A and B are shown apart, each in its own frame.
Chain A
Amino acid sequence: MACARRLVTRYLFVVTAVAAVFEAGVAAAQGAPLAPEYAAPALMDSRLVVWVAAQLHLDFAAFVLAVPMFALVIEFFGWRMAKHDAAAATRYDWLAHEMARLLPAAYSLTAITGALLGFILFSAYPRFMGYLTNTFGPTFVVYPLFFVAETLCLYFWYYAWDRLQGDRKWAHLVLGLFLNIFGTIVMFIADAWATFMMTPTGVDHQGALVSLYDAVWNPGWMPLNIHRLIANITFGALLCAAYAAYRFLSARTENERALYDWMGYTGNLIALFTMLFLPFAGYYFGFELFAFSATYGVTLMGGVLSWLFIIQAIVIAILFIGAAYYAWLGLLRIPGSEPQRRWIPAFNVILILGFMVWATPHTMAASIEESTGQFHPLLGALGLMAPKMIAVTLVLVVLYVSYLLYRRAGKVLTVPWARTGTIVEWGLVGLTAFAITALGVYGYFAPADVRIATSIWQIVVLIAGIVVTFVLDLLLLRGSRTVAEVRWGSMPRRGQYVLVTLAFVIVWLMGLMGYARSGARLNWHVFGIVQDTSASAGLPTLGEAAIMVTLITVVFFALLAIAFAISAMAERGAPPRLAPGTREPAATSEGVRT
C-alpha cells in the first residue's frame, strides 16, 4: 500500500512538472511575436542559469535513461538462469535492482531540472523559443506523452519489482523494455531540437519551416542520438560503479563486500566496453558537423574551442587509464593470474605513450623563448587527427587485450586446437593493430575529407577485429577448466577510490562537452538562421567554463547524494534482498559462477 502511494505521489509530481512547462511553452509560443527578444527573469545572466539547468537536467536524464538499459539486460540474464541456478538468478536480480535503486529519486530530479530548464528558456528567450515551438509544434505535443509513458513504466518497473517475480517476471521485463523504448524516444525527440540548433535543415534561409521531417532528421540528429546512447551507458555504469565502491568501502560483512565488489566490476566493465566505441561516436558526430559547415571544423579544432579539446583529451585519457587500472587491479582477485599480470607493465607503457600522443596540442602554448613561430617539426605532426586516431585506436586494442587476458586468468584451455587457436587469435589482434596504423599513416598524407573517411575505416577494422577475435575466444574457452575461483571482495581499496574518481571525471567531462557542443554555434541560437543578439552572446573563456562545469558537477553530486539518502530511507526496514548467509558471488573470471 505504501509502495502504491509512493508511486502515485511521485508520478503525479513528475507529470505536473512536465505539464506546467508544456503549458508555459505553448503560452509563450502563442505570444511569441509580441514577446521581447530577451528577458532576465532570474535577475541573473540568463545564459548562465540556462547552462546550469540544462547540464544538470542532462546529467540526471543520462543517468535515468542509461541505468534501465543495462539493469534490464542483467535482469534478463537472471531470469534466464532461474531454471537451472536459482542462486545465480537471485544474485543477478539483486544486481539489477541495486543498480536501479537510485532511479526513482533521480527521475524526480530529472523532472525538476527539466521543468526549471523549460521555464527559464521560455521566459528568458521568449522569441527564440516561440520560433522553436512553431517549427517543432507537433513534437512539442508528442514529447510530453512519451515522457508520461516513460514515467509510468519507470515507477511501475521499480516499485513492482518484488511483486512481479516468479511466473510474472516476464511482465516485469516487458515493462522494463517499454521503459527503455519510451525513454529512448524521449531522448531522440529532445535531440532533434538540440541538433536542429546546430545543423538546421528542413527550413528555408529565413528559417521558415519547409519540412518537419528534415528539421527533425537533420544531419546532426542521428550522430548525437548514437553518441548520447553510448555515452549515457558509460555515464550510468560509472555512477553505479561509484555507488558500489561507496558500499564496498562501508560494507560490514564479507558477503556485502563481495556483492558490491562484483557490482563495481560489472559497472566498470560496462563502462569500458561502451568507452571502446565512444571516441568513434564522437568522431561521427564531429564528421557530420564538419560536413555541414567547414566553420565548425575551424571553430572546434583550430580556433576558439581548440584548447578545450586538449583539456578533453586529457580528461578522456584519465578516464581510460583509470578504468584500465581498475581492470588490471581486478586480476588480483584471481589466484594464479600471474601469467596474465606479466603483461600489464607493457600495457601500461603503451597506454601512457598513446595518451601522450592523444593529448599533444598541434599549436603549442610556448613562451617567447621557446617559440619557433612554426609548428614543432616533431610534435607538431603528432598534434593532427591522423596520429591521434592511431594512438587512441591502439590504446583501445590494448584495453581489449587486457579484457581477453582477464577472461583467461585462472583457466586451462581444454580444446585440442588450443595452441593453434591462441596463435591465430593473437595474430589477428596484431594484424588489427597493424591495419589501424597503416590506415592512419595513409590518412596523414591525404586531404581532409579522405582523412576523416580513413578514420572511419580504422573504426571498422577495430570493431571487425574485436568481433572476430572475441568469437574465437569464446570457442577457445569452451569447456575450459577453472583452476582458480574469483575471490570477490578481495579487490584493494584503492580500486574503489578509482571508481569514485572516474564517476567525478565522467560527469565533469560531460559538462565540458556540453559546453563545447553548445559553444560551437558561437553567436547563433540556430546556426546560420537565428542569431543570438543578446548581451551574453559571446563565448565564456575556458577558465570560466571550467569553473562553471566544476560547479555543476559538484551540485550534481550533492543532489545525487540527497537522492541516495532518500532512497536509503525508503529502503530502511525492507527485507534484505539476499538473506544473511547467502553464498558470496563465487565466480569465475567470466562473471558470477553458475
Chain B
Amino acid sequence: MNADTQSRNRFSVPLPVGALLVVVLVFVMLKLIRPVIPQSVILLYMGFVVLGVVIHLTLDDDRIRRFWNFFVRAGDEGPVLRAQRWALLAVLPLVAGWWAYDAVRPRYTPPVEIFQRHPTVGEEVLGRIQVPEWAANPAKWRAEDIAEGKKLYAANCAVCHGEKLDGNGPAAAGFRYPIRPADFRDVGTIAQLTMRYVYWRMTTGGIQNQFNSPMPRWVASADGPQVSTLHSYDFTPEEGWKVIIYLYRATGYEPRKEELRDYKSH
C-alpha cells in the first residue's frame, strides 16, 4: 500500500469534498441570514469564495495531485472514500443542472433593478439652489425654526418617514420596491448629503421623474405653474429649509459641507 493510498484511507475529508463543503457551508449561511440577502450579492460573494477555494486547491502541486487522484479509482480504497467520490460526482451535475434550470425557468417577478440611492443631479441644477443665510450654518439654527420644522414634518412627512425618522411611518409598508421611505437616522442618507442636495430631492420628488421613488414634490405651486401637479404639495422654500434643519438636528448629523476648502477664483 503506497503512501498516497494510505492517506486516502485515513480518516480525513478528501480535498474535493472539503472544497465542496466549504462552498456549500458559506452558501447556506448566506441563505439563512434574515432579511434575505439578494441573489446578486450572494452570487458576488460566492464568486470570491470559489476563487478562494481554487487558490487553496492549487497552492502547490501536491494539492492538485491529491485533488485529481480523488477521482481516480484505486484498488485498495475503502467504501467511505468510494461513497464520497460517487456522491460528489452525482452532486456536481445536479447542482449545475438546477442552476441552469433556475436561470431559465419562467418567473412572474419583474427584472431586478439596479437602483441608485441618490439620483445624480447636474451642477447646473444644484447651482441654482441657494441655502438661506439663516439655515446655512448649523451653529446658528434657531430653536423656533427647528420647532416649526418638526411640526411641518409631523404633519406632512411622518406618515411615510415615521415619527422617529426611521422610515417606518404608518404608510411606509405600502411602499416596498425598489425602495421604502428613507430612514434618516441611517448614516447612508442625509448624513452623506449636502443641504442643497436634500432640498433638491425634497422639491423634485420621484414619482413623476425617473427616480423610482413614490416621493411627491414638496414645493409651493406659487413657485411656478409647471411644478404644480397632482403630486406636488405646498411647501414654501422657507418651510422646506425648516424641515431640513429639523431632520439634521433630530438625527444629530451635520449636513455635508459643500466645499471643504477655500478655492481661489472659483
Please report A residues at the B interface, Cβ cutoff 8 Å: 200-205, 210-211, 214, 219, 290-295, 297-299, 301-307, 314, 317-318, 321, 325, 328-329, 332, 341, 344-345, 348-349, 351-352, 355-356, 359-380, 383-384, 444-445, 447-449, 492, 494, 522-524, 527-529, 531
A30 to B116, CA, bound (A): 44
Contact A351-B254, Cβ < 8 Å, known A291-B260, A375-B186, A528-B127: no
**Of A211, A214, A293, A304, which one neighbours B259 at CB under 8 angstroms?**
A293
New A-B contacts (7) at CB < 8 Å, excluding given A305-B120, A314-B47: A205-B266, A298-B121, A299-B120, A301-B192, A368-B176, A375-B188, A448-B256
A-B contact pairs, 30 of them (CB 8 A): A201-B265, A204-B266, A219-B261, A291-B260, A292-B259, A295-B126, A297-B192, A297-B256, A298-B121, A302-B118, A303-B116, A303-B120, A305-B120, A341-B59, A349-B52, A364-B38, A365-B41, A366-B38, A366-B112, A371-B176, A374-B179, A378-B33, A379-B37, A383-B188, A444-B187, A445-B187, A447-B256, A449-B256, A522-B120, A524-B123
Contact A528-B186, Cβ < 8 Å, known A200-B266, A366-B38, A377-B35: no
Asked if B71 is at the interface of the complex by the 8 Å CB criterion, the answer is: no
Residues of chain B with a CB closer than 8 A to A373's CB: 175-181
A363 to B112, CA, bound (A): 13
On chain B, the number of residues with a Cβ less than 8 Å from chain A's Cβ atoms is 69
Residues of chain B with a CB closer than 8 A to A202's CB: 264-266
Please give the distance in Å from B34's CB to the nearest CB on chain A.
Answer: 9
Residues of chain B with a CB closer than 8 A to A379's CB: 37, 41
Closest to A361 in B: B41
Residues of chain B with a CB closer than 8 A to A524's CB: 123
* A332-B41 in contact (CB<8A): no
A297 to B193, CA, bound (A): 9
Asked if B114 is at the interface of the complex by the 8 Å CB criterion, the answer is: yes
Within 8 A of A (CB), among B71-128: 109-124, 126-127
Please give the distance in Å from B170's CB to the nearest CB on chain A.
Answer: 15
Residues of chain A with a CB closer than 8 A to B37's CB: 364, 370, 376, 379
Residues of chain A with a CB closer than 8 A to B56's CB: 345, 348
Residues of chain B with a CB closer than 8 A to A298's CB: 118, 120-121, 192-193, 197
Please give the distance in Å from A239's CB to the nearest CB on chain B.
Answer: 23
Residues of chain B with a CB closer than 8 A to A299's CB: 120
Closest to A372 in B: B35
Residues of chain B with a CB closer than 8 A to A372's CB: 35, 176, 180
Asked if B183 is at the interface of the complex by the 8 Å CB criterion, the answer is: yes
A162 to B23, CA, bound (A): 55
Please give the distance in Å from A367's CB to the nearest CB on chain B.
Answer: 5
A202 to B266, CA, bound (A): 7
* A328-B191 in contact (CB<8A): no
Asked if B67 is at the interface of the complex by the 8 Å CB criterion, the answer is: no
Of A214, A356, A492, chain B has the most CB atoms within 10 Å of the CB of A356
Contact A294-B266, Cβ < 8 Å, known A363-B117, A364-B41, A449-B257: no
Residues of chain A with a CB closer than 8 A to B60's CB: 332, 341
Asked if B49 is at the interface of the complex by the 8 Å CB criterion, the answer is: yes
* B177-A204 in contact (CB<8A): no
Residues of chain B with a CB closer than 8 A to A349's CB: 52
Residues of chain A with a CB closer than 8 A to B179's CB: 371, 373-374
* B122-A374 in contact (CB<8A): no
* B116-A365 in contact (CB<8A): no
Residues of chain A with a CB closer than 8 A to B259's CB: 291-294
Please give the distance in Å from A335's CB to the nearest CB on chain B.
Answer: 12
Please give the distance in Å from B193's CB to the nearest CB on chain A.
Answer: 7
Asked if B69 is at the interface of the complex by the 8 Å CB criterion, the answer is: no
* B265-A368 in contact (CB<8A): no
**Of B61, B110, B191, B197, which one neighbours A294 at CB under 8 angstroms?**
B197
Residues of chain B with a CB closer than 8 A to A367's CB: 38-39, 109-112
> Do most interface residues of chain B lie in helix, strand or loop, or is the interface mixed?
loop
* B263-A201 in contact (CB<8A): yes
* A368-B258 in contact (CB<8A): no
Contact A359-B48, Cβ < 8 Å, known A205-B266, A366-B112: yes
* B52-A201 in contact (CB<8A): no
* B257-A294 in contact (CB<8A): yes
Asked if B45 is at the interface of the complex by the 8 Å CB criterion, the answer is: yes
Closest to B260 in A: A291
A304 to B260, CA, bound (A): 23
* A317-B256 in contact (CB<8A): no
Please give the distance in Å from B26's CB to the nearest CB on chain A.
Answer: 10
A364 to B123, CA, bound (A): 26
Within 8 A of A (CB), among B193-219: 193-194, 196-197
* A447-B119 in contact (CB<8A): no
Residues of chain B with a CB closer than 8 A to A361's CB: 41
Residues of chain B with a CB closer than 8 A to A297's CB: 192, 256
* B193-A374 in contact (CB<8A): no
Asked if B167 is at the interface of the complex by the 8 Å CB criterion, the answer is: yes
* B257-A348 in contact (CB<8A): no
A3 to B60, CA, bound (A): 46
Asked if B40 is at the interface of the complex by the 8 Å CB criterion, the answer is: yes
Residues of chain B with a CB closer than 8 A to A314's CB: 44, 47
In the A-B complex, the 4 residue pairs with the closest CB atoms: A373-B180, A302-B118, A303-B120, A352-B52
**Of A295, A344, A356, which one neighbours B48 at CB under 8 angstroms?**
A356
Asked if B36 is at the interface of the complex by the 8 Å CB criterion, the answer is: yes
**Of B36, B45, B187, B254, which one neighbours A370 at CB under 8 angstroms?**
B36
Residues of chain B with a CB closer than 8 A to A290's CB: 260
* A368-B110 in contact (CB<8A): yes
A263 to B91, CA, bound (A): 43
Please give the distance in Å from B115's CB to the nearest CB on chain A.
Answer: 6
Please give the distance in Å from B42's CB to the nearest CB on chain A.
Answer: 10
Contact A365-B120, Cβ < 8 Å, known A373-B177, A374-B183: no
Of A204, A306, A341, A373, chain B has the most CB atoms within 10 Å of the CB of A373
Residues of chain A with a CB closer than 8 A to B260's CB: 290-291, 449
